[in-house]
């Protein structure tokens, strides 16, 4: 079941990519929040810089995106681990199904090869 293990590895790689995207998005959100809060302060105190996004809307949109990141990350991790476990179990079953050869049988096989070749 090499294919299952490959799918599991791809799922886990995508989960890491989503986690990195979420971290970068959060960093971007924090910078935008700081600018928006500074503009809101100027608007309230000096009646300037009153146009632009509000910090509340930036936070609300981030919360929506964060929920999506968490769901996608969790689904990919669970899928990836499940595929890896099932692929390893299938491989183990295949190996267990092969007959066990004793040293005597191995020696006989080797002698037969030598005689033929």
* pTM (2 d.p.): 0.72
Specify the 3-state DSSP secondary structure of 33.
helix
Half-sphere exposure of 117 (CA within 13 A, CB side): 6
In whole angstroms, how far apart are CA 33 and each of 3, 9, 16, 77, 79? 44, 36, 26, 30, 34
4 contact partners, CB below 8 Å, separation of at least 6: 83, 84, 86, 87, 90
Per-residue pLDDT tens digits for 51-84: 889 999 999 999 999 999 999 999 999 999 999 9
Q: Is 1 or 62 the better-scoring residue by pLDDT?
A: 62
Q: What percent of the chain has pLDDT over 90?
A: 64
**Percent of the chain clearing pLDDT 70 (strictly above):** 88
Domain range annotation of the chain: 2-116
In this predicted structure, the answer to whether residue 117 has a pLDDT above a threshold of 80 is no
């Amino acid at each position: 079941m090499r294919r299952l293990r490959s799918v599991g590895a791809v799922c886990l790689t995508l989960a890491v990519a989503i986690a990195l995207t979420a971290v970068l998005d959060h960093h971007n959100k924090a910078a935008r929040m700081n600018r928006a809060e500074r503009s809101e302060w100027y608007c309230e105190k000096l009646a300037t810089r009153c146009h632009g996004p509000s910090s509340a809307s930036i936070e609300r949109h981030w919360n929506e995106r964060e929920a999506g990141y968490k769901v996608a990350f969790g689904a990919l991790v669970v899928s990836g681990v499940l595929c890896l476990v099932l692929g390893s179990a299938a491989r183990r079953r295949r190996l267990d199904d092969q007959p066990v050869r004793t040293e005597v049988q191995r020696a006989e096989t080797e002698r037969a090869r030598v005689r033929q070749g």
